[in-house]
């Protein structure tokens, strides 16, 4: 389903994995999937901001690139530091970035790789896609995050930007726009 680009070898992160000493690790480390915003040739600046926010959550950051003829976008993304995986879904069905088509792709990606966070930029694509993904995962979406306090605590504007709200999210999977 995907072409997977690994910058370097890394262990898969999940429940019940083995540590380097051979002991069982029952805790789950944060892993973030960043949905890449692009125009099939150029990476958007919003995506770079989203990747920076994802790095504040934890070091395990992966990116999902979908569309048609996205090789230039993947090439640009491969130059960004600290991205562990670049997942590429290239097909004509993704032309137009319709959220009805993209939401099942993002949900199946989350289930396959067990991401704890899914992030997208606060763009038209992100604002249409994230609520659908959250609904399919049965979690609450968090919109327009302006700061990451910890892996489960975020700051977002309320009252037309006149106040800031700090939210602690208890859902196992956090789905948000930045």
- d(CA 70, CA 44) in angstroms, rounded, equals 13
Domain 3-144+173-177 sits in CATH 1.10.150.110: no
pLDDT at 96: 84
CA distances from 160 to 60, 108, 145, 146 (A): 33, 34, 14, 14
Domains of the chain, residue spans: 3-144+173-177
Q: Are 159 and 148 in contact (CB under 8 A)?
A: no
Query: pLDDT per residue over 50-85, tens digit each?
Result: 999 999 999 999 999 999 889 999 999 999 998 999
- d(CA 126, CA 63) in angstroms, rounded, equals 14
Check pLDDT > 90 for residue 25.
no
């Amino acid at each position: 389903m995907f072409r997977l680009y690994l910058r370097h070898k890394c262990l898969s992160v999940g429940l019940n994995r083995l540590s380097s000493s051979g002991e069982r690790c029952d805790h789950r480390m944060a892993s973030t999937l960043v949905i890449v915003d692009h125009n099939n040739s150029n990476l958007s600046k919003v995506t770079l901001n989203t990747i920076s926010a994802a790095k504040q959550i934890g070091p395990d950051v992966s990116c999902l690139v979908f569309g048609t003829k996205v090789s230039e976008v993947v090439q640009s993304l491969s130059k960004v530091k600290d991205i562990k995986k670049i997942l590429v879904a290239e097909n004509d069905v993704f032309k137009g970035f319709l959220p009805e088509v993209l939401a099942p792709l993002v949900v199946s990606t989350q289930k396959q790789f067990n991401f704890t966070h899914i992030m997208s930029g606060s763009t038209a694509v992100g604002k249409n896609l994230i609520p659908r993904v959250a609904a399919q995962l049965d979690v609450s979406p968090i919109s327009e995050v302006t700061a990451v306090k910890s892996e489960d605590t975020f700051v977002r504007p309320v009252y037309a930007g006149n106040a800031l709200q700090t939210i602690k999210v208890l859902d196992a999977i956090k789905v948000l726009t930045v």
